[in-house]
Structure 1
Amino acid sequence: MINNAHSTDIKLKLLKQSVIFFLLIFLCTTIHCSAQNYHKQFDHLKIEDGLSDATVGSILQDANGFMWFGTFKGLNRFDGYQIKKYVYDKGSNKGPNDNMISSLIQDKEGFIWVGYNNKGVSCFDPTLETFQHYQPNESTTSLISNGTVNCLFEDTEQNLWIGTEDGVSVVQKDRTSSIKYINNGQGINGSSVYDIVEDKWNRIWLATNNRKLSMYNKNTKEFSEIEYTDLALEALEDNEKKNLWIFNDTLLYVCSNGGGLAEYNLLSGKYNTFIEENNGPSSNNIRDIIQVDNKLWLANDGAGLDIFDVNTKTFENISNSKVDPQSISSNVIWSLYKDKQENVWLGCYLQGVDKYDPRKNFFSQITNDPCSSSSIPNKPVLSIYNDSQKNLWVGSDWGGLHKMIQDHQFEHYDIDGKVTNKDVYDVVKCIDEDKFGNLIVGTYSEGLRIYQKGNRDYKHIKRNIKDKGLPSNHIWSILTDSKGITWLGTLGGGIGQYDPVSKECKTLELEYITAAQHLVYHIYEDSKSNIWFSTDGGVVIYERDKDQWNYELLKPLIKENHNISYVKSVYEDKLKHMWMATASGLVKYLPESKEFKTLDETDGIAQLPLLNIISDNLGNLIIISKQYISKLRLSDEKIVSFHIPNNSFNYNSAAKNEKGEILVGGTEGITLCNPIFLEENSQRPPVFITGFDIFNEPQLPNDSTSVLSKSVIETKTITLDYWQSVFNFKYCAINFTETDRNQYAYQLEGFDKNWNFVGDRRLASYTNLDPGKYTFKVMASNNHGIWNKEGASIDVIIKGPFWYSNWFRLFAILICLLLFYLLHRVRMMNVKKKFALERIQADREQIKIQNNTLEKELDETKSELTNITISHLHKNQSLQQIKAKLEQMSVNFGSTEKRKIKNLVREIDKESENHSYWDEFEHEFNKSHNNFLERFKHEYPDLSKRELRICAYLRMDLDNQEIGTLMNISIRTVETARYRIRKKIGLEQRKSLSKMINRF
């Protein structure tokens, strides 16, 4: 039993606190009992919704609010919309180490630990989205010694307890080492550990495969055995799969494979056992246990769900129904979990996940049961009426008239008002009583049926050619007013009256302003006894005190919005304001000031058109549309709407019973709710950016090509290159109540000027943004329009191309300045060139004149030089001839004559040389050849005077013979001189000396 470490005083104090606590529990339970009596409905999540497997053995909600499901084919994360799968991939850290997942837990540091049936544990890092695997082995440094993990638990010191088939491993806070406890006489009392909990007295409780519990006292660091049941539990399987739960700190509950439910008092050590055979749970094989409010939910392996009332010690069973799609999916339930929104999740065997949402379970359904002849027929409900005897009457479409005799049980009536079990093919559109209490039934195409009070005598009134008292055989609304007058509203025939005394009808001859006012859907009497008729042409009002009719009350509004003309219901609130349900929303009319106010979808109305208005016992309006029941609070006109997916409501088919419950008829029967519990979901949903795509390619932190180094949820800044110009953000709000009604708004600061309100869209796309820094923000509301305006955000930095850099901009500026300077220079040069060209042109003209003069002078000079040269050439030629004859004659002369002739030859040679001729020639030659001799002498100073004369003659294009004659030398001497000239001026062999001299 419990150790004696605690004093008696402490026990008494705790016992006193527990008594007070239980009294509070009892009061709360009493307050909520009526709500909990409603038939529980479940939403379903199956393989077709994205689950990797239909068997779910463990469930977890992480710190962000995402739901995690451990299946037999991997790990699944659910955000309310879609499922992300993590499956086994051999040798990879992107998925779990095995697909057979047995347990899940998130530690205080945010890491998710995954236990497997065969392969130890893994630690999932949500930031990097990677798994670190821990395999079992015999090493003392390993975290676990056995691969079959049954449970995971983190204690108050953040030690991780891993229960396996071979004892328990206690992993220290730093997660680098562990202490292993096994069944060795000093450790735990069994080989297998199935569940672990910690109480407020620093004790760890372990459910083993031993008949008794094992308890570890962290103060004394010792194990002990605790007896918790009076059952024998001798079979091994009776002690397997135990689960533990500590209820309100004082009671420890234990369930197992065959031991039912055991209750152990942590204060007194007393225990009690509840088994199937003794008005206990539906099955002794209980797989999981959790606390919901002040009750325990038990997952049975084969008997569905049990709800255990701790105060009354009674059990309520919820099991699968083949005819109810909103019942639990399976009677084999393996895991239970309650999330932060008080939703309860059920992991089923082969049937996926079920979700119980307490905010949606204030509604129950009265519908057809094919196995019961006393259930409501499988026909749409068109009318509901509570008579003066508190009987509930229901009119159906081609199913006739029915009276509820007890919950969900009905008597069926034929057209004569007699109880029958046969099908009745009658369309009952409306029901009421006359002033004598006779039941009046309006039908489609069959007129009125009147059932006499007491004996139920039957009378049928139908319009025919001879009797035109009834406006139409399509009676769609009936009202007996406070004066005893029974009013009839028809489809196409307008308004009539029924006289219960004469049992006759008459058509009122009224001055309708439009044919649409002949279509009457609803009749209502206000506090001043005025009668309001809802039509397709607005409202028609009989003002009793004036005894006159008003057809145009809504005319000004209809001119602005034609949909306001379609009125389906009228109601007067406790403040004497009139409300009208229209195709455009609610119209509020204040009779004293004659003012109107309209409320539409922007004011919180969930769906149009509106079909019915009724009030609850507190005076709040209950508004009905096709698939929504809404409550309008009169104090602030706040509207709270609830989606009813399993029914489609009809107009003029709403009523309130004596309990204050609202009944609404639709295509799938009657939806019942207590409006007291129709409260707003005030929880602001957490918002997360869950995905980032570039060119529709998801960016993952464990992808080498990704721009993300960690999960986008944990990322604060994303940096992109300029070419990554098309990207998307994905986001979601964590609200598992009517998730599809969550609303979103996003803004990219730096680009969007305003918030983009996008309804339920969860994708934001951007293209071709300029380089710079932006901030993407998203906020969301829950199903009732409660916004989390803080939302989520992430910075986006788009890097510019190199031409956006400062150095490039500086370089570009310099280039521009240089180009400007060059263009300016070119322009200035062009201007100067223009002036220069003009100047040159003028100079050319001047030069041309001068050239002409010079040419004349040059021609004259050249002509004179030529004459001098030719004259000298002729003279030398003559002298050479004379000289040759003298030399020839001297051959025959004696020595004296020869000597005379020789002297004569010398004189001739002197005459041939004629230095005065050269001086004149040189002067004229330089004039006509631009000082050639001076320039040539300056360029080649090694040239002799004779060589310069030869160059001058070559310039005049004289040949060697002519040069030799002019210079009185032989041709051989000329050639030798030319050779020397070539050497002195460095002229190559193959080049012409004459051409070179002429070009100089």
Structure 2
Amino acid sequence: MKELKTYYLLLSLLIYIPTYAQNYNKQFDHLKVEDGLSDATVGSILQDDKGFMWFGTFKGLNRYDGYQINRYVYDMGGNKGPNDNMISSLIQDSDGYIWVGYFNNGISRFNPKLEVFEHFTGGNTKDHLIQTGSINCLFEDKEQKLWIGTEKGVAVVQKNRKSSIKYVLSDHKNSINGEQVYDIVEDKWNRIWLATNNRKLSVYNKNTLQFSEVEYTDLPLDDLEDNEKKNLCIYNDTLLYVCSNSGGLAEYNLLSGKYTTYVEEENGPSSNNIRDILQVGNKLWLANDGGGLDIFDVTTKQFENISNSKVDHQSLSSNVIWSLYKDNQENVWLGCYLQGVDKYDPRKNFFSTIGNDPCNTTSLPNKPVLSIYTDSKKQLWIGTDWGGLHRQKKNTNNQFDHFNIDGTITDNMVYDVVKCITEDKYGNLLVGTYSEGLRIYQNDRRTYKQIKRSIKSDGLPSNHIWAMITDKFGMTWMATLGGGVVQYDADTQTCKALDINYQNLSQHHIYHVYEDSQSNIWFSTDGGVIYYNRSENKWHTDLLSTLIKDNHNISYVKSVYEDKLKQIWLATASGLVKYMPESNQFTLIDEDDGIPQLPLYNIIPDNLGNLILIGKNYISKLSLSDEKIVSFHIPNNSFNYNSAAKNDRGEIMVGGTEGITIFNPILLEENKHLPPVYITGFDLFNIPQLPHDSTSVLKKSVSETEEIVLDYDQSVINFDYCGLNFTETDRNQYAYMLEGFDSKWNFVNNRRRATYTNLDPGKYTFKVMASNNHGKWNKEGTSIDVIINGPYWYSNWFRAAVLLLFILMFYVLHRIRMMNVKKKFALERIQADREQIMIQNDTLEKELDQTKSELTNITISHLHKNQSLQQIKSKLEKMSVTFGSTEKRKIKNLVREIDKESENHTYWDEFEHEFNKSHNNFLERFKHEYPDLSKRELRICAYLRMDLDNQEIATLMNISIRTVETSRYRIRKKIGLEQRKSLSKMINRY
């Protein structure tokens, strides 16, 4: 099967492609100012190393990702935009910098990483990279030197981009041959070719470091304007093509030196004024200034012109084209004057449209196409909605004869709805209509007959005939809307409604009729599928009943087809149902399996046996070998059911609201380009973060950033992303996840923004992947790390401080607890000691009281004794007056003995001991404080402490009161006691 498929593919390509190229116009997508372009005139185009498209306009620089345009406009004196709005040329060098040349203000170097511009102005000094501010072209050679073509020669900027060599027109032999340089290319022999304003080309040989001139055309080109703005293109290393303002196209053979010129007047290009040239495959595309697009076949030397059509919105936007560029997906971009950018996508140009041309009366009417039929004479018939019947004229594409109801050709509009077309077994044309029954055209449409439903006849149950076929046995089967199945007899030209045991009224609404390889007849209805088994001569109306119970949408069947493996395929509102009669098994293929749109309307095979599935706006190819589906969006037509056919070249035609879409299904290839994925924007609190903004968290472009660091309170973040696939961009699919937060991928269809809020501090990785329009996923995608710093209380130093503080607090609390324990213990000890002291104090007090009592007793006893002795002494002294000397002497001795007794030292020692004991060593402390006091004075102080008066003190000491007073006076002096203060109180307080 694989070898057979390859054979058919090669055969189809060899036979079919030239016809296809001749018959169908190329289709273009348009990008205009309303889509975001800063200006409608685009003079230069570039694709950078990431895949973004750049457009240089007359109002700044534009970057395009397939969805939206970022504009960089003139930033006077700044580095956020170009240094001028009038952009002449663009190039990206090997270091990734984008160089922007201006018509009038020098050149700028754009740093994609930092998104800033560095500007260079023209001048004649060595410090200037360029000698003038008017830039015409940019080119980087194999040694990565940058050649800048200007209005005053060429500047060759060295690889380090710090210096340049300038070549200008001069009398010196080794110089360029013109003032202005408009284009530069390099051949494989190390030669640089420069298109100057001289009639001849200037060539610089890098091996010999010499300039020379080369003739490239046989035209005189005497006028200066004829020589200006030449463009160069080297084709397959051997042919150099040159185009200019008025010189047409010149072909110069780099090997032989021979040249040929193609001009408009001699079957050449559509215009001699060619602005740009580009190799696309084995052809050259020529951008004409007023003549549209020319495609030159290098092999056949033939030109094909493509121009703007006012009635075809997919044609060129303008016939004035200034620039051409081919991207890495083989798309061709065309910069137009005043009309923006056109894009030619070879993957979308499998399809072309045959439709209404208001300027051509022989084109199809501006009505939906409902039916397509090729008769036995290879004539194509088209039935339209309220536009009648039409036949394609021989050897034409969009020219038709229009038929009246009676079969005659007319130039007028025929308000008739033709739903289906076929032939009976005699070759008569049968036309099924809406509300007007069946029309029969015999003998090459010279005889006309109409069959309509009649109250008196039961032949035609409904005038709404939706589908017809004539089977292998010559029987014509008709499907009606509301009337069920009808047979048409060509011999009698009569209709007969068949009596079938329909399951429900929905089976009376039939849309399609099909005959399989066993001559069984299948009918697609609103109540499932019914079929007539010819070998059994039996009708089956419940084939899908089990499936319909589980999924009612399967009951809406619009088409049936049997493949070469004898499998039956049903197009339903729920998907594609595969029925295998031998095993009586069913398989449903739906949107999860790759069908882009439901319901399905038609199934038709290509020449290799693959199934072509028709939806409302999609055409899909299902490979029978692996059941893989590749689908294509058709934005310029909305298809109808039962309106598809295949011609003898293998092309499939599908009718819709805008006419017929025609294509070769063998050319429908899967887009295998894996779109590179980039993060294109980062918002913080919905504010875009730009690297040149001082408040931004980004230091370079987000697409170049590996890590973003945020604070914990920067809680709302957005990521914008895109996959660079410029084919059916709106069908690109995306999936993203935030690793560390999301547990699985978020598949979000074509949505290109992810939002996260209130993320916890930590490290995350944002990942995104994308698929192209055919579901081919770039699973590697791209990623960026996001670090959210915690508040200071999340930091390690803070945690360490808290830990230390906790330890300290634990230690302090432990210490306090231990101190409390100790304090409690000490208090308990103190309390115990206090109790002990109290006991001791009580004991001491008792002892003291006892001592004081004993002291008092001793003192009183001694006082009484002295008082008694004083009384005895006084009596003896009175008695001695009357005694003689001898007796007086004896009495005097007795008195002396009494005085000795009064001064009893034993008494004082005992008194002193007891006194110190009961008065806290008063005498020792007082003696220590006042060492000048005599023993008598200390004794008087002790008596004063006991609150004794002078008389008692005198009695105890056996002295006079006068002596006591004198002693007290002396004591006051010795202790420095003021006169007004009491000695007794002072002693008592001591």
* TM-score (structure 2 length as normaliser): 0.86
Tell me the residue number matched to 2:140.
Answer: 154
Which residue, out of 291, 294, 299, partners 2:282? Answer: 294
Q: Does residue 1:57 correspond to 2:29, yes or no? A: no
How far did residue 44 of structure 1 move? 0.4
* Cα contact 2:101–2:108 (8 A) shared by 1: yes
Question: What are the Cα deviations for residues 574-608 of structure 1, in whole angstroms up to 9, with x where unaligned?
Answer: 11111111112111111111122221122221111
* Aligned 1:125-524 pairs, distance under 5 A: 125-185=111-171, 186=173, 187-405=175-393, 406-524=396-514
How far did residue 948 of structure 1 move? 10
> Structure 1 residues 147-156 or 969-978, which shifts more?
969-978
Question: What are the Cα deviations for residues 45-102 of structure 1, in whole angstroms up to 9, with x where unaligned?
Answer: 0111111111100011112211111111111111111111111111212221111110
**C-alpha distance in structure 2 between counterparts of 1:693 and 1:961, whole Å:** 108
Which residue, out of 91, 103, 106, partners 2:89? Answer: 103
How far did residue 383 of structure 1 move? 1.6
**C-alpha distance in structure 2 between counterparts of 1:979 and 1:452, whole Å:** 169
**C-alpha distance in structure 1 between counterparts of 2:534 and 2:509, whole Å:** 22
Question: What are the Cα deviations for residues 785-818 of structure 1, in whole angstroms up to 9, with x where unaligned?
Answer: 2222222233334444444444544444444455
* Aligned 1:895-906 pairs, distance under 5 A: none
**C-alpha distance in structure 1 between counterparts of 2:941 and 2:530, whole Å:** 135
- C-alpha change, 1:829 and 1:289, in structure 2 (3 Å) is same
**C-alpha distance in structure 1 between counterparts of 2:300 and 2:343, whole Å:** 26
* Cα contact 1:35–1:677 (8 A) shared by 2: no
Which residue, out of 667, 678, 684, partners 2:657? Answer: 667
> Which amino acid counterpart does residue 36 of structure 1 have in structure 2?
A
* Cα contact 2:862–2:907 (8 A) shared by 1: no
* Cα contact 1:445–1:474 (8 A) shared by 2: yes
**C-alpha distance in structure 1 between counterparts of 2:401 and 2:34, whole Å:** 40
Tell me the residue number matched to 1:75.
Answer: 61
* Cα contact 1:143–1:177 (8 A) shared by 2: yes
> Structure 1 residues 492-501 or 313-322, which shifts more?
492-501
How far did residue 317 of structure 1 move? 1.3
> Structure 1 residues 75-84 or 541-550, which shifts more?
541-550
Which residue, out of 11, 21, 29, partners 1:36? Answer: 21
Which residue, out of 725, 732, 738, partners 2:722? Answer: 732
* Cα contact 1:239–1:257 (8 A) shared by 2: yes
**C-alpha distance in structure 2 between counterparts of 1:621 and 1:702, whole Å:** 54
**C-alpha distance in structure 2 between counterparts of 1:934 and 1:698, whole Å:** 98
Percent of pairs identical after alignment? 65
> Structure 1 residues 644-653 or 86-95, which shifts more?
86-95
Question: Counterpart of 1:655 in 2: which secondary structure?
Answer: strand
**C-alpha distance in structure 2 between counterparts of 1:939 and 1:798, whole Å:** 81
Question: What are the Cα deviations for residues 372-414 of structure 1, in whole angstroms up to 9, with x where unaligned?
Answer: 2211111111221222222222222222222222311122223
Larger CA Rg, structure 1 vs 2: 2
> Structure 1 residues 195-204 or 50-59, which shifts more?
195-204
> Structure 1 residues 394-403 or 799-808, which shifts more?
799-808
Structure 2 portions without partners, runs of 5+: 1-11, 871-880, 882-891
How far did residue 709 of structure 1 move? 2.8
Q: Does residue 1:115 correspond to 2:98, yes or no? A: no
* Cα contact 2:852–2:915 (8 A) shared by 1: no
> Which amino acid counterpart does residue 506 of structure 1 have in structure 2?
K
Tell me the residue number matched to 1:540.
Answer: 530
Question: What are the Cα deviations for residues 694-730 of structure 1, in whole angstroms up to 9, with x where unaligned?
Answer: 3333332323333333222233333444444433332
* Cα contact 2:81–2:116 (8 A) shared by 1: yes
> Structure 1 residues 82-91 or 47-56, which shifts more?
82-91
Tell me the residue number matched to 1:744.
Answer: 734
**C-alpha distance in structure 2 between counterparts of 1:757 and 1:790, whole Å:** 15
**C-alpha distance in structure 1 between counterparts of 2:927 and 2:438, whole Å:** 143
Question: What are the Cα deviations for residues 548-567 of structure 1, in whole angstroms up to 9, with x where unaligned?
Answer: 22222222322332222221
> Structure 1 residues 826-835 or 678-687, which shifts more?
826-835
**C-alpha distance in structure 2 between counterparts of 1:357 and 1:615, whole Å:** 25
Question: Counterpart of 2:155 in 1: which secondary structure?
Answer: strand
> Structure 1 residues 210-219 or 794-803, which shifts more?
794-803
Question: Counterpart of 1:713 in 2: which secondary structure?
Answer: helix
Tell me the residue number matched to 1:891.
Answer: none
* Cα contact 2:937–2:971 (8 A) shared by 1: no
Question: Counterpart of 1:142 in 2: which secondary structure?
Answer: coil
How far did residue 938 of structure 1 move? 13
* TM-score (structure 1 length as normaliser): 0.85
- C-alpha change, 1:851 and 1:573, in structure 2 (3 Å) is same
> Structure 1 residues 855-864 or 107-116, which shifts more?
855-864
**C-alpha distance in structure 1 between counterparts of 2:771 and 2:342, whole Å:** 24
Tell me the residue number matched to 1:19.
Answer: none
* Cα contact 1:384–1:392 (8 A) shared by 2: yes
Which residue, out of 558, 563, 579, partners 1:573? Answer: 563
Instruction: Indicate the RMSD between aligned Cα atoms, in angstroms.
Output: 4.4
Equivalenced residue count is 949
How far did residue 981 of structure 1 move? 9.1
- C-alpha change, 1:920 and 1:174, in structure 2 (3 Å) is closer
> Which amino acid counterpart does residue 449 of structure 1 have in structure 2?
R
**C-alpha distance in structure 2 between counterparts of 1:997 and 1:476, whole Å:** 142
Structure 1 portions without partners, runs of 5+: 1-26, 884-893, 895-899, 984-988
- C-alpha change, 1:823 and 1:401, in structure 2 (3 Å) is farther
**C-alpha distance in structure 1 between counterparts of 2:474 and 2:160, whole Å:** 83
> Structure 1 residues 261-270 or 745-754, which shifts more?
745-754
Question: Counterpart of 1:610 in 2: which secondary structure?
Answer: coil
Which residue, out of 643, 653, 662, partners 2:633? Answer: 643
Tell me the residue number matched to 1:604.
Answer: 594
Question: Counterpart of 1:99 in 2: which secondary structure?
Answer: coil
**C-alpha distance in structure 2 between counterparts of 1:421 and 1:951, whole Å:** 161
**C-alpha distance in structure 1 between counterparts of 2:972 and 2:764, whole Å:** 92
- C-alpha change, 1:31 and 1:487, in structure 2 (3 Å) is closer
- C-alpha change, 1:465 and 1:122, in structure 2 (3 Å) is same
**C-alpha distance in structure 2 between counterparts of 1:213 and 1:715, whole Å:** 46
**C-alpha distance in structure 2 between counterparts of 1:963 and 1:514, whole Å:** 150
**C-alpha distance in structure 1 between counterparts of 2:937 and 2:757, whole Å:** 88
**C-alpha distance in structure 2 between counterparts of 1:955 and 1:57, whole Å:** 127
**C-alpha distance in structure 2 between counterparts of 1:971 and 1:462, whole Å:** 171
> Which amino acid counterpart does residue 185 of structure 2 have in structure 1?
V
How far did residue 857 of structure 1 move? 9.2
- C-alpha change, 1:644 and 1:933, in structure 2 (3 Å) is farther
**C-alpha distance in structure 1 between counterparts of 2:122 and 2:591, whole Å:** 59
Which residue, out of 747, 752, 757, partners 2:747? Answer: 757
Tell me the residue number matched to 1:716.
Answer: 706
**C-alpha distance in structure 1 between counterparts of 2:111 and 2:530, whole Å:** 67
* Aligned 1:15-30 pairs, distance under 5 A: none
**C-alpha distance in structure 2 between counterparts of 1:52 and 1:826, whole Å:** 77
> Which amino acid counterpart does residue 731 of structure 2 have in structure 1?
R
**C-alpha distance in structure 2 between counterparts of 1:439 and 1:176, whole Å:** 80
* Cα contact 2:39–2:59 (8 A) shared by 1: yes
- C-alpha change, 1:603 and 1:915, in structure 2 (3 Å) is same
